[in-house]
């Protein structure tokens, strides 16, 4: 049995229009709820027939991700040369990218343990009785795992 903690940057969040319609949920109310968790001004809204997608603005990624990663990675494992080298390689790879799509593709390759793609499904409480499923995708920059082993021998 195990648990893990992921730290990263959400780059996409999606909501089903069918579910929104079933809950009689307007987009303004949806944005109010999403703003409680994330600054939605950082995202562009893309409306489709079946889903509403919120994508992190590409300009923010291209302008700020490299320095953010450098800052974050400087906090971890300074004494472990191998980890530091992997961090440096990941930051270097990110600095060469020219689009959010390229970043997502790099993260999906899982070439670096400190740069991966993850999908998270969560529920957002809309009313005391109704929740809305939010499908999020994130670039994971740090993962910490904790495993519990059971050594119980049957009697």
Short-list 86, 97, 40, CA closest to 64: 97
Does 152 reside within a domain? no
- Segment holding 68, helix H or strand E: helix 58-73
pLDDT for 146 equals 67
Host domain of residue 17: 2-147
CA 72 – CA 114 distance, rounded (Å): 11
Does 153 reside within a domain? no
CA 123 – CA 62 distance, rounded (Å): 30
pLDDT in tens, 35-91: 988 899 999 999 999 999 999 999 999 899 988 888 888 877 667 777 788 888 998
Does 74 reside within a domain? yes
Does 67 reside within a domain? yes
pLDDT for 86 equals 85
Looking at the structure of the chain, the number of domains it has is 1
CA 138 – CA 11 distance, rounded (Å): 5
Q: Which residue has the tokens 């307007």?
A: 26
Does 91 reside within a domain? yes
pLDDT for 80 equals 73
Residue 42, Cβ neighbours under 10 Å: how many?
Answer: 15
Does 154 reside within a domain? no
pLDDT for 77 equals 64
User: What's the pTM value of the predicted model, to 2 decimals?
Assistant: 0.82
Does 155 reside within a domain? no
More confident: 4 or 85 = 85
Residue 109, Cβ neighbours under 10 Å: how many?
Answer: 12
Short-list 142, 139, 124, 111, CA closest to 16: 124
The answer to whether 57 touches 43, Cβ cutoff 8 Å, is yes
pLDDT in tens, 14-23: 999 999 998 8
pLDDT for 98 equals 92
Contacts of range 116-123, beta carbons closer than 8 Å, 24 or more positions apart: 116/140, 116/143, 118/6, 118/8
Does 104 reside within a domain? yes
DSSP designation for 127: S
% of the chain with per-residue pLDDT over 70? 91
pLDDT in tens, 97-109: 999 999 999 999 9
Inform me whether the pLDDT recorded for 13 exceeds 90. Answer: yes
């Amino acid at each position: 049995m195990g648990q893990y903690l992921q730290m990263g940057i959400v780059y996409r969040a999606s909501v089903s229009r069918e579910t929104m319609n079933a809950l009689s949920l307007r987009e303004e109310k949806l944005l109010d709820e999403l703003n409680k968790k994330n600054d939605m001004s950082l995202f562009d809204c893309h409306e489709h027939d079946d889903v509403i997608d919120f994508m992190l603005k590409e300009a923010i990624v291209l302008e700020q991700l490299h320095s953010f990663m450098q800052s974050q990675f400087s906090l971890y494992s300074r004494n472990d040369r191998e980890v530091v080298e992997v961090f440096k390689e990941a930051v270097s790879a990110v600095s060469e990218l020219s689009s959010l799509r390229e970043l997502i593709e790099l993260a999906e390759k899982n070439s670096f343990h400190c740069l991966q793609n993850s999908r998270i499904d969560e529920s957002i409480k809309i009313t005391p009785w109704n929740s809305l499923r939010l499908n999020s995708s994130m670039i994971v920059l740090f993962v910490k795992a904790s495993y519990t082993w059971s050594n119980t021998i049957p009697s």
